[in-house]
Chain A
Amino acid sequence: MDNFTVGVVVFPGSNCDRDVSWALEGCLDIRTKYLWHESSDLSDVDAIVLPGGFSYGDYLRCGAIARFSPLINALDEFVKSGKRVLGICNGFQILTESGFLPGALVANKNLNFICDDVELDIVSSKGGWFNNVDEKQTIKLPIAHGEGRYHCDSDTLKKLVDNELIALRYIKNPNGSSFDIAGITNKKGNVLGLMPHPERACDETIGGTDGLFTLKSLILK
């Protein structure tokens, strides 16, 4: 993809940054660049991934401290310019804490840390994140989280439904999420947050390739 570069943000406590970079570089031949959270210069990246992990040790609330990093402060302009941002797991939590996406992610209903493969319905392909699977509306991706229960009030849920902002729903809800929600987009569609890990499903030898098209969608204009 010529010079297209995806910035992979590294917070203290991120632990999926290298997986994301491996999936993009190794499986999709997309150039990546690690962005330290204290950097606010996003001029040489064309899309951004906020990876999973435990930014700032999940202190206070998951994603709550990361919200105040220079990089997240710079993200507002980046998103307004229409460039794409993908938040995976802790990245999704950061996007809700920062107000880029509505709602919040709270402790799983059964209090377990759940590490499993889940079946997901693609509800909306707003933003083109799931366009490549028109003929296959169900995908399987791994989840690994203790605080992945999506919560929002009824007004917010109505807005999500009415504006087709729900991207993914669990077929068998593992964590008690409202309306079985596993991933949502913003209105413009250029920001996607999801609890499942597409970067862990990019090679048949490690359990599947259903994550490839979502990562590949980072290069869409």
Chain B
Amino acid sequence: MDQFAVKVFVRLRPSVLDPAGEATKSASIKLGAEGIKSLRIGKMIEVKIEGNGENEVRGKIDLLCDRLFANTVIEDYEYSLEKL
């Protein structure tokens, strides 16, 4: 069995308004940060997972992302995978 470290990034789709991102952008500007054109907040999920090779693990992670980690009605996801 191989072990992998997976980082999943879940983001609101571009078409979905992100009021938390807007509020944080507003605070960033008040802090004095200049030039911020856009700020959106997402989630990062770290998973350590075992499997027989990268393909099998990708299959498991795809299932997790599609069915649990992201709601694809409002969110997109991507992930990176590193063999440990």
Binding site for B on A (CB under 8 A): 60-61, 64, 68, 96-97, 102-104, 106-111, 149, 151-153, 176
A127 to chain B, nearest CB (A): 23
Binding site for A on B (CB under 8 A): 12, 15-17, 19-20, 23, 68-69, 71, 73-74
Choose from A61, A68, A108, A110 the contact partner of B71 (Cβ within 8 Å): A61
Which residues of chain B are near A104, meaning CB under 8 Å? Answer: 71, 73-74
A65 to chain B, nearest CB (A): 8
B42 to chain A, nearest CB (A): 12
Residue of B whose beta carbon sits closest to that of A99: B73
With A104-B71, A104-B74: A110-B19 Cβ-Cβ less than 8 Å? yes
Residue of B whose beta carbon sits closest to that of A176: B17
Which residues of chain A are near B15, meaning CB under 8 Å? Answer: 153
B50 to chain A, nearest CB (A): 22
A105 to chain B, nearest CB (A): 9
Contact present for B69 and A152 (CB under 8 Å): no
In the assembled complex, the Cα of A102 lies from the Cα of B71 at a distance in Å of 12
Closest 3 CB pairs of A and B: A104-B73, A104-B74, A111-B19
Contact present for B19 and A152 (CB under 8 Å): no
B12 to chain A, nearest CB (A): 8
B6 to chain A, nearest CB (A): 16
Contact present for A151 and B74 (CB under 8 Å): yes
Residue of A whose beta carbon sits closest to that of B69: A60
Beyond A68-B68, A102-B73, A151-B16, list 16 extra A-B contacts (CB 8 Å): A60-B68, A60-B69, A97-B71, A103-B73, A104-B74, A106-B12, A106-B17, A107-B20, A109-B19, A111-B19, A149-B17, A151-B73, A152-B73, A153-B15, A176-B17, A176-B19
Can you name 8 A-B residue pairings with CB atoms under 8 Å?
A60-B68, A97-B71, A102-B73, A106-B16, A107-B19, A151-B16, A151-B73, A153-B73
With A103-B73, A104-B73, A104-B74: A64-B68 Cβ-Cβ less than 8 Å? yes
Which residues of chain A are near B73, meaning CB under 8 Å? Answer: 96, 102-104, 151-153
In the assembled complex, the Cα of A149 lies from the Cα of B20 at a distance in Å of 13
Which residues of chain B are near A68, meaning CB under 8 Å? Answer: 68
